[in-house]
Structure 1
Amino acid sequence: MLKTRKLLAAALVAACLTAGLVSTSRNDTAEAAIGGITWQDEFNGSAGAPIDSAKWKFDIGGSGWGNNEQQYYTNSTSNVSQDGQGHLAITARRENPANYQCHYGTCQYTSGRILTADKFTQRYGRFEASIKVPKGQGIWPAFWMLGGNNWPTTGEIDIMENVGNQPNTVYGTVHGPGYSGAEGIGGNRNIGTPLSNAFHNFAVEWSPNLIVWFLDGSEYFRVTPASLGGDQWVFDHAFFMILNVAVGGYWPGYPDASTVFPQTMLVDYVRVSAWTDGTTPPPSGSTALRSNFSNRCIDIPSGNPVDGARLQMWDCNGTAAQKWSFASDGTVRGLGKCMDPAGGALANGTPIQLVTCNGNPVQRFTLSAAGDLVNVSANRCVDIKEWNSANGAQLQLWDCGGTSNQKWTKA
């Protein structure tokens, strides 16, 4: 996303096909063992609120950004703000009259580009965001990372890119010395319907000598040093994150009469999890998880940690059956076993059970600052089924709605 790149869409497609044929050796890689959340932004501010300046800063200007882009990036809440419904909104607008100067003259468009540089960086782990992309010819949303300001030597990891003339396709790419610009190594997935129709989870899991791309929890591409054809692997140091919506550029082309403005990218959350080599023990300490709805606690029935025990709500009593620890691998543990969606399913209505911890990513949960107990793989919340406030009420996965039967407090 940083320099002149993807001069022709066909060039990238060719690179993707070539990369997809590279045989990767599992002997020189370390599969990501994903730990707990290290950084997150859930965008729970009021409507029109600016971004959290402790977490993000702005890139500003209309230089073309190395790609002949047509927008001027501002720090205005007209272009970047929270929407009051739990989302970040980055909005590209057609300006009339134009008030900014771009590399090509008076800017026709404004947009936003925010980054965590000087605020947060991390080496290795899971980097993910739930995003509803904008649409239209010449519109180019992206969620990506840079390893420094000396591009391409310090590396670039594109977690998600989409261009308006290919509305159904997500691209994931790496750039480094010898494989930058249109020579970037990447893969893609076409889902058959426009990505702009719904929120999707875009993620990479990054560990020593391995980066894996996921769309909605499904892997679609991986890269190792063997994928680079002898070029230098530069993905061994901390990177920062970037979110932006570009307008125009060599790859997506330029807006035309069919392009409707404004166009908004909505971001539900951005989360970063740790990478661990598997030797770090779970943290000590445990807590009850009390429902804001019923004032009862998540409970292991009869204190019996048998595999498949369906978790329930019960009067808070301080027993070990109601004590939960948030482990370094992202699991939530009670009586030595893990909270788990039954059968590894991720759909609405999936019961929540207790199962032997097995390293499956579906056993990863996070408790957000807003009190949502979220299954990371499903991006769904732990929910009290049928709004039942009685002892014995069952738990399930359900779309996060911000309702009190999905809100939890450590007690």
Structure 2
Amino acid sequence: MRARAMRTFTATTRSSKAIMSIDRDHRPTSGSVARASRRIGGAALVWLSCLSANPMPAAPPAHPASARSFFEPFDGLDARRWYISDGWVNGAHQACTWSRSAVLTSRGVLRMTVERRANQLRPLVCAEIQAQGSGFGYGTYEVRMRIARGSGLNTAMFTYSGPPVTPIHDEIDFEFLGKDERRVQLNYFVGARGGHENLADLPPDASQAFHDYAFVWAPAKISWYVDGKLVRSVEGTTLPRNAGKFYLTLWAGSATVNDWLGPLSNSQLPATAEVDWAAYTVPGERCRFPQSITCTLN
């Protein structure tokens, strides 16, 4: 994941009038930007420099978890559970405008699309949904998904805590870079400090078929799984501990992140990622639905 400084939160985005009065390039930055903002310059670099000069305490008080377990089959998109990002961009790294029109559910599948669209802040539209609330903490996060294929694209599943809702930036990621559909980038942030990227192998047909992706977040351990197989595990005391939001996104990068995402080509658009289901299970609960990895973990 790239240099993300802040994230998009519903508390700051519900009013279209408020959105129009804000410089969108200084809105909370998108889910897949963490290291990228180092190349963006301007306010993003100043913001990150302030973080470096004033590091977060080693053991900050955790933003409390409050979310309940859920299983989402995407028979529709319930506004009580999901918020659709709409009408803004998260920075110069992003070649697309978040748009409600890029999010669709049909026959029990969520479809997130990147495509060309006129009269937008950017030449493309892209898709992001956020689970309502900022209380997603320790537990098991799962999706069954077909990723988007193509250079310049990023399909992502992640948690994020940080401004403006919470003071401390913690994060855990699955990021599928469309230029290399054989591998997935796994990462986490603690107190806005990243640099924990790791690549794991994917099934050869990840952009053609649905596969299961999960991570289990515990106080001293994070484990990532692909189709039930453990692909990465980290342990220690310096791990994310603040509850936040849960996101699913598909977006396109601008030329500022070509070295990471690769250049975007018109020939590969429109591009779509599909999600069969998504779920969150709080610690101590297990096997709330048959497909859950918690049914097989000890």
* Superposition TM-score, scaled by structure 1 size: 0.52
Task: Tell me which of the two structures has the higher relative contact order, counting C-alpha pairs closer than 8 angstroms and 6 or more residues apart.
Answer: 2
Are the counterparts in 1 of residues 202 and 226 from structure 2 also a CA contact under 8 Å? no
- The alpha carbon displacement at 1:67 in A equals 6.1
Are the counterparts in 2 of residues 217 and 378 from structure 1 also a CA contact under 8 Å? no
- The alpha carbon displacement at 1:243 in A equals 0.8
**Structure 2: distance between partners of 1:205 and 1:255:** 33
**Structure 2: distance between partners of 1:114 and 1:66:** 18
| Percent identity of equivalent pairs | 22
- The alpha carbon displacement at 1:217 in A equals 0.7
After superposition, residues 232-311 of structure 1 pair within 5 angstroms as 233=238, 235-249=240-254, 250=257, 251-257=260-266, 259-276=267-284
- The alpha carbon displacement at 1:60 in A equals 2.9
Instruction: Check if 1:196 corresponds to 2:207.
Output: yes
Are the counterparts in 1 of residues 146 and 206 from structure 2 also a CA contact under 8 Å? yes
Are the counterparts in 2 of residues 61 and 72 from structure 1 also a CA contact under 8 Å? yes
Task: Choose which of 38, 61, 65 in structure 1 pairs with 2:69.
Answer: 38
- The alpha carbon displacement at 1:178 in A equals 6.2
Where 1:196 maps in the other structure, the secondary structure is coil
Tell me the alpha carbon deviations over residues 177-198 of structure 1, each in whole angstroms, 9 at most, x when there is no partner.
3633xx2x13221236141021
Matching residue's letter, 2:98: Y
- The alpha carbon displacement at 1:61 in A equals 3.8
Where 2:207 maps in the other structure, the secondary structure is helix
Instruction: Check if 1:162 corresponds to 2:176.
Output: yes
**Structure 1: distance between partners of 2:82 and 2:192:** 30
**Structure 2: distance between partners of 1:171 and 1:153:** 23
Are the counterparts in 2 of residues 152 and 177 from structure 1 also a CA contact under 8 Å? no
Task: Choose which of 83, 87, 92 in structure 2 pairs with 1:57.
Answer: 83
Aligned residue for 2:236?
225
Are the counterparts in 1 of residues 169 and 192 from structure 2 also a CA contact under 8 Å? no
After superposition, residues 97-136 of structure 1 pair within 5 angstroms as 98-101=118-121, 107-118=122-133, 121-136=135-150
Tell me the alpha carbon deviations over residues 247-295 of structure 1, each in whole angstroms, 9 at most, x when there is no partner.
11412133125x422111111111111212xxxxxxxxxxxxxxxxxxx
Matching residue's letter, 2:95: Q
Instruction: Check if 1:174 corresponds to 2:188.
Output: yes
CA 213–378 in structure 1, closer or farther in 2 if over 3 Å, else same: closer
Matching residue's letter, 1:191: L
Matching residue's letter, 1:199: F
Are the counterparts in 1 of residues 188 and 197 from structure 2 also a CA contact under 8 Å? yes
- The alpha carbon displacement at 1:168 in A equals 0.9
Aligned residue for 1:293?
none
**Structure 1: distance between partners of 2:105 and 2:197:** 31
**Structure 2: distance between partners of 1:67 and 1:206:** 31
CA 7–218 in structure 1, closer or farther in 2 if over 3 Å, else same: same
Aligned residue for 1:400?
none
In angstroms, what is the RMSD of aligned CA positions?
2.6
Tell me the alpha carbon deviations over residues 134-185 of structure 1, each in whole angstroms, 9 at most, x when there is no partner.
1111111101111232699321111x211121111112110123633xx2x1
| Structure 1 runs not aligned, ≥5 long | 9-36, 46-50, 102-106, 227-232, 277-328, 331-363, 367-373, 380-411
Runs of 4+ in 1 over 6 A off after TM superposition: none
Aligned residue for 1:69?
94
Task: Choose which of 152, 159, 162 in structure 2 pairs with 1:138.
Answer: 152
Matching residue's letter, 1:188: L
| Structure 2 runs not aligned, ≥5 long | 6-32, 38-67
**Structure 1: distance between partners of 2:234 and 2:132:** 24
Task: Choose which of 108, 112, 117 in structure 2 pairs with 1:90.
Answer: 112
